[in-house]
Amino acid sequence: MPTLKELSIALGLLSSDHNPAAEVDGWKNYVWRVRNIADCRPVQNGYCDIISDRWDWKRQQFYQIAYRADSVSSTITTRITLRNEDSSDDDQVCIVVSYFDAMGDEIGVFFANWRALPGRAYTREAPIILSRPVSDVASLAAGSKQCDAKATIDAQNYYRMRLALKQK
């Protein structure tokens, strides 16, 4: 008999968008949302809201992803907001954002493993410097899952992918 956690993962994966880089990169049990950059909704300070979703389908726990591109420095700043509206449940949340060119090749990756305390919202920003012009970014895939505080395999994937993409 599957556990509630196993059922939650299975249901999330069934609703996941297809991210062709996920398996190759080694990201396991993430629920993906894939969007074209053209779907971006401009907001303040040059940021563009692109994805809003839940990291836990059975609770009022949400993440939002926005980004800002600086063509002069080839920097993409990823802004992630975790909003935990559940007053009694805290989670460790892993988020991956992969940036792709028009051919579907991955050209940038961001990873975060952050704690979401009950009834709290957090917004953090982190820049990555691409080895290619930011104008090459055509789409992105964001994956989310509940994880443990170390998430060692995911952190190793992130550092391996950063090196492979020559990202700073």
pLDDT recorded at residue 76: 96
pLDDT recorded at residue 80: 96
- pLDDT tens-digit readout, 17-69: 677 677 777 888 999 999 999 888 888 788 999 999 999 888 899 999 999 99
Task: Please tell me whether the overall predicted TM-score, pTM, comes out greater than 0.75 for this model.
Answer: yes
Place 132 in a pLDDT band, splitting at 50, 70 and 90.
very high
pLDDT recorded at residue 16: 62
- Classify domain 4-164 by CATH architecture: Sandwich (2.60)
Q: What are phi and psi of 120, to 5 degrees?
A: -120, 155
Distance of CA 49 to the CA centre of its chain: 13
Distance of CA 94 to the CA centre of its chain: 8
- pLDDT tens-digit readout, 138-154: 999 999 999 988 889 99
pLDDT recorded at residue 13: 47
Of all residues in the chain, the percent with pLDDT exceeding 70 is 89
